[in-house]
Chains A and B, each alone.
Chain A
Amino acid sequence: MKIAIFIEKNPVTGKLRDVTAELSAKASSLVEPFGGEVVGMFAGDELPVNSDDLFSSGLNRLVSFSEKRLMDSHTIAIKNIIEKMILSEDPDIVLFGATSLGREIAPLISSSLKAGLTADCTHLYIDDFKDKGKILYQVRPAFGGNILATIISPDSRPVMSTVREGVMKVPESMNKNEIKSEDFEMILQDNWFINDFLKILPKEKKVHFNRSDIIVAGGAGVGTRENFKLLSDLADMLGAELGGSRAAVDSGYIDKSRQIGQTGAVVRPKLYIAFGISGSIQHRAGMDESSKIIAVNSDPKAPIFHISHFGIVEDMKTIIPVMMRYLKEDLNG
């Protein structure tokens, strides 16, 4: 069995994106019982500075194509190079990170190869399927995360998937494989570089939810920006990080960089305190592994209570001032 993985560089740091090692480790564990190899495919201006690290997370061989023009993310050029690598390697399975680039390149390639592509997989495994022998089973949340769908592409070669960052774990210690790198040869065409990149703007700094033991989060039920300030005060008092549901972001209460949920950050703090969050499945997908969940919501039927350990049915506006008074006493005493 051969699995090819898309190697992606973070253009800001010049290093591998985290998801690449995760793909490599996952691919290695999928291939292991059957024998075979994990091949990395890279197209860019130059290899990530730490690309050799991949050989310590399951990669067997790296195929790369580097050219200066690929400094910018010329979608069509990268698609054509990776597609040609896939055709030449003929892998059973191709995995991409579900990053912006991966989610753009993978569908372009799947369309031209007429290959089955499953987006945002959270779990992959190999098992028998009828007379097809061993095939890839791809599990992904769908329907806004309300269902988990297992998708197969039994007649497709290759089978393609994008995999969410942070979902697959890299084992602490893996055998270090021998470093095998080779350059891929191909001639680029000028009409693959039709877009001009006028300016590159850095993204706003990411919020590091994972460094915080406590997260205080608000949703649409918070109601106003002023009320959200109350949450922020409470978070300050607890030394907690402030977060919000998508509804809170859409209402302009909080910046998108602080969004928690399926399309935002996935967090696992020791304590998660949710105010005015109904608990849509998208939101829960980002926080339901928190060790302890406390919910305050005026709607007793809010789904958030199904996954909470402690709660109060009440408007957060009423609760927070009382809460802060008791907290002050408790923290000082």
Chain B
Amino acid sequence: MKKIIVMVKQVPDTANVTGDSMKEDGTVNRAALPAIFNPEDLNALEMALEIKGLTGAEVTIITMGPPKAVDILKHSLYMGADKVYLISDRKFAGSDTLATSYVLSEAIRYLGKFDLYLAGRQAIDGDTAQVGPQVAEKLGLNIVSYVRNLVEIKNENIVVEKDSDVLTEVISAWVPLLMTITSDANEPRYPNSINMLKYFRSELESNISDKDKIRYKKNGWAIPVLTFDDLGLDPDKCGLNGSPTKVHKIKSIVLKGGDLTLFENNEGGVMGLVKEIVKDYSGKN
């Protein structure tokens, strides 16, 4: 196992919607949600780093997104990734999963051949779980989805547990291979303080002034940005043009309200609550 590539994504933290991010009308204020490292992508990165520990493989991270996605690339460096790339261009805006998988697969082709290709099972903003398999198909790779445990790794062979909704399968697969990783697979490590000292100055190459460029590159602080032109992409396959699915309509979920009876938080209140419970108690089950 020499080279591993991990696809990661920065997402709004849709999983922790608290009272503070609710609007008056009962809908969620999406802008108030912080941008985070997609949770299962952290599990994919952790697995890559575990394999690096076992085999000495080099770990490369790519993400497609706006410039602020540099945050998760820096986080990847802090955790122990070797190389990181941002895939970014205005022409990618509006990409659905098919267009995204096209851009990612072309970026991977541009970076060379890898033994293992990893991604989180799904991102919490769309929950589609489509981009991983679509990249595998475009690169003609073998695929094992929903990996929840790395059992063994020996040269070109890897044994994993695949978690499906009815079974768990223990599968032996050969590289080159793409795997999507679930949250059960591991506990992602914390950023390492030595790496943080080493990389905290890291900056997107495009943001570094000419006079600093040589110094930043020498220290490994320059994060390369790959654009539409760099990758020589087909405009008909990216962004809205390359996306067969279109969003026709969006409706914010409004919480129905108004019929809540709030009891006082004293003994009398609890008694009232208990009366409501007992009404439904059937004594069976």
Contact surface of A with B, Cβ cutoff 8 Å: 10-12, 72-73, 75-76, 99-101, 103-104, 106-108, 110-112, 114-120, 137, 141-156, 194-203, 211-214, 238-241, 246, 250, 256, 262-263, 270-271, 273, 278, 280-282, 284, 291-292, 294, 296, 299-303, 305-314, 318-319, 322-323, 326-327, 330-331
Contact = CB atoms under 8 A, between A and B. Distances in A.
A299 B245 contact: no
A151 B281 contact: no
Nearest to B255: A306
Contact of A104 (B145, B263, B277): B145
Nearest to A234: B277
A151 B169 contact: no
B248 A147 contact: no
B19 A198 contact: no
Contacts, number: 288
Nearest to B244: A116
A149 B96 CA distance: 13
A86 to B, nearest CB: 14
A201 to B, nearest CB: 4
**Majority SS of interface residues in chain B?**
mixed
B263 A330 contact: no
Given A99-B164, A100-B163, A239-B285, 13 more contacts: A75-B143, A75-B144, A118-B245, A119-B129, A146-B30, A150-B249, A195-B171, A203-B168, A238-B281, A302-B18, A302-B19, A310-B276, A331-B278
Nearest to A319: B270
B249 A301 contact: no
B253 A213 contact: no
Q: Which 8 A-B pairs have the closest CB atoms?
A: A144-B14, A301-B19, A116-B244, A306-B255, A239-B285, A100-B164, A314-B265, A111-B137
A199 to B, nearest CB: 4
Best-surrounded residue of B98, B131, B166, B265 (most CB of chain A within 10 A): B166
A125 B96 CA distance: 21
Contact of A73 (B169, B173, B274): B169
B91 interface: no
Interface string B1-40: 0000000000010111111101000111010000000000
A298 B267 CA distance: 16
B280 A299 contact: no
Interface stretch (B52-60, B78-86, B120-128): B120-128
B79 to A, nearest CB: 19
Given A99-B165, A116-B98, A120-B128, A294 B18 contact: no
Contacts of A322: 267, 270
21 contacts: A75-B145, A101-B164, A110-B98, A112-B137, A117-B245, A119-B130, A144-B14, A146-B253, A148-B250, A151-B247, A195-B173, A200-B167, A203-B165, A211-B285, A280-B17, A282-B14, A292-B276, A301-B20, A303-B18, A331-B278, A331-B281
A271 B285 CA distance: 13
Nearest to B167: A200
A306 B257 contact: yes
Given A147-B250, A309-B259, A11 B136 contact: no
B260 A111 contact: no
A326 B272 CA distance: 10
Contact of B172 (A196, A201, A273, A294): A196
A113 to B, nearest CB: 10
B171 A273 contact: no
B127 A120 contact: yes
B142 interface: yes
Contacts of B277: 214, 238, 271, 273, 294, 323, 327
B269 interface: yes
B255 A292 contact: no
Nearest to B157: A196
Contacts of A153: 244-246
